[in-house]
């Protein structure tokens, strides 16, 4: 028996979120944490090489003003409607702390980003999950019940399924008295953003990130856009927590990334094209999957268990994501890499399935 010490009784204990592994092997194919396979915009690479290290003596701008202004300009909103954080995980965590402070449980899908329940536990926020339907779609009717707030990703993760703006609006219309957060980590791969609804719904917060579609997971930049009042409350909490969260290089390079809209559109379009091609190839190999609008495919094979495929791929230094969780243990979440990376993945799967997947 492990003895529990007196001083341990009042400790805030949590079961932390488990991120996908971050291997670093030469020649590996990393398709497990939904990063972009292409480098950041050329201007970002150039600026990174020219960073003035003397500036690192000083604290960065705690308001991240240039980045807030660049985002406001790009998305045609006011700077007072933008909040920037250290990755969208930081933004969403701050939003949980700020907005989900009621007695009723907050609501989110049962199959979704597995950080939501961790933040709810960390901040002692009551929560309830709503089961996705048999086709992995959100049932808007589930969100018509007393609640303390709502969050869901659109497209959802790990399913990749996009909900229409009508569905998002249906949920908003039924929930005018709580904050509704739409986590749009993957919206740039083909979805319609709920950003156009922020003036209509002052309780809507739209969260996006530079990690997936802007090739900058390593810099940690996320942001959210919403009504000025929402952003004000979020800032009050943020500046009560830690004023200087975003480092100077991230601020400078983030602005440069936002400025290059053309490169951003080009790389996301390339990923979408690769995704659509890979869907056909996976289907031909006996995989089924929800029709992804994200930069990953959530696939299940007709005969070979996902765990077995996950291990076999790993042996080849091809990393995908698998969860031993109810409802999703038969699935692999495969990030869309470059065309060459996907060809190697498909080639391996073709051989492996030919050898191991004959009989049902």
Residue with Cβ nearer ligand PLP (19 or 354): 19
Residue whose beta carbon is closest to ligand PLP: 87
Cα angle vertex 118, ends 163, 95, to 5°?
Answer: 65
The DSSP symbol for 19 reads P
Compute the least distance from the CB of residue 116 to ligand PLP, in Å.
9
Tell me: does residue 162 bind ligand PLP (CB under 6 A): no
| 3-state secondary structure (DSSP) of residue 235 | helix
Residues between 101 and 120 with contacts to ligand PLP, criterion CB under 6 A: 113
Q: List the one residue from 47, 178, 197, 217 that touches ligand PLP (CB under 6 A).
A: 217
Tell me: does residue 211 bind ligand PLP (CB under 6 A): yes
**Alpha carbons 358 and 360: distance in angstroms, whole number:** 7
Binding mask 27-56 for ligand PLP (x = CB under 6 A): -------x----------------------
- Measured in degrees and rounded to the nearest 5, phi and psi for residue 352 equal -65, -45
Compute the least distance from the CB of residue 284 to ligand PLP, in Å.
28
Compute the least distance from the CB of residue 113 to ligand PLP, in Å.
4
Compute the least distance from the CB of residue 119 to ligand PLP, in Å.
11
Residues binding ligand PLP: number (CB under 6 A)? 13
Residue with Cβ nearer ligand PLP (152 or 263): 152
Whether 83 contacts 234, CB under 8 Å: yes
**Alpha carbons 353 and 331: distance in angstroms, whole number:** 16
Q: List the one residue from 31, 60, 64, 88 that touches ligand PLP (CB under 6 A).
A: 88
Residue with Cβ nearer ligand PLP (323 or 352): 323
Residue with Cβ nearer ligand PLP (88 or 353): 88
Whether 282 contacts 293, CB under 8 Å: no
**Alpha carbons 213 and 188: distance in angstroms, whole number:** 6
Whether 132 contacts 157, CB under 8 Å: no
Tell me: does residue 222 bind ligand PLP (CB under 6 A): yes
**Which residue bears the tokens 């933008």?**
82
- Helix 87-99 vs helix 228-238: crossing angle, to nearest 10: 100
Neighbours of 46 (CB within 10 A): 10
Alpha helices in the chain (DSSP H): 42-49, 65-74, 87-99, 116-122, 165-173, 228-238, 248-259, 261-284, 306-315, 339-356
Tell me: does residue 209 bind ligand PLP (CB under 6 A): yes
Binding mask 167-186 for ligand PLP (x = CB under 6 A): ----------------x-x-
Compute the least distance from the CB of residue 10 to ligand PLP, in Å.
30
Compute the least distance from the CB of residue 337 to ligand PLP, in Å.
16
Q: Give residues in contact with ligand PLP (CB under 6 A).
A: 34, 87-89, 113, 153, 157, 183, 185, 209, 211, 217, 222
């Amino acid at each position: 028996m492990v003895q529990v010490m007196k001083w341990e009784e009042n400790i805030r204990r949590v079961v932390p979120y488990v991120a996908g592994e971050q291997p670093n092997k030469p020649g590996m194919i990393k398709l497990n944490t939904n990063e972009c396979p292409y480098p950041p915009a050329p201007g970002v690479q150039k600026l990174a090489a020219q960073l003035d290290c003397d500036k690192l003596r000083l604290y960065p701008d705690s308001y991240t003003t240039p980045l807030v202004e660049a985002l406001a300009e790009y998305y045609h909103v006011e700077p007072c409607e933008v909040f920037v954080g250290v990755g969208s995980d930081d933004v969403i965590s701050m939003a949980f702390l700020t907005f989900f402070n009621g007695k009723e449980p907050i609501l989110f899908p049962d199959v979704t980003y597995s950080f939501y329940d961790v933040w709810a536990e960390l901040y002692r926020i009551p929560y309830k999950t709503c089961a996705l339907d048999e086709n992995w779609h959100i049932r808007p009717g589930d969100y018509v019940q007393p609640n303390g707030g709502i969050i869901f990703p659109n497209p959802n993760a790990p399913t990749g399924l996009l909900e229409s703006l009508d569905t998002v609006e249906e949920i908003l219309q039924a929930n005018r008295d709580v904050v509704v957060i739409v986590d749009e980590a993957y919206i740039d791969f083909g979805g319609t953003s709920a950003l156009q609804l922020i003036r209509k719904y002052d309780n809507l917060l739209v969260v996006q990130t530079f990690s997936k579609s802007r090739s900058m997971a390593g810099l940690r930049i996320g942001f959210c856009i919403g009504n000025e009042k929402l952003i004000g409350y979020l800032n009050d909490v943020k500046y009560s927590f830690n004023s200087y969260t975003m480092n100077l290089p991230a601020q400078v390079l983030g602005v440069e990334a936002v400025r290059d809209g053309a490169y951003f559109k080009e790389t996301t379009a390339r990923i979408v094209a690769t995704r659509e091609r890979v869907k056909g190839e996976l289907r031909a190999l006996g995989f089924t999957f929800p029709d992804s609008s994200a930069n990953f495919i959530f696939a299940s094979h007709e005969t070979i268990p996902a765990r077995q495929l996950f291990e076999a791929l790993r042996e080849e230094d091809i990393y995908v994501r698998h969860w031993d969780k109810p409802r999703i243990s038969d699935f692999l979440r495969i990030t869309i890499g470059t065309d060459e990376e996907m060809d190697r993945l498909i080639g391996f799967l073709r051989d492996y399935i030919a050898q191991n997947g004959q009989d049902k």
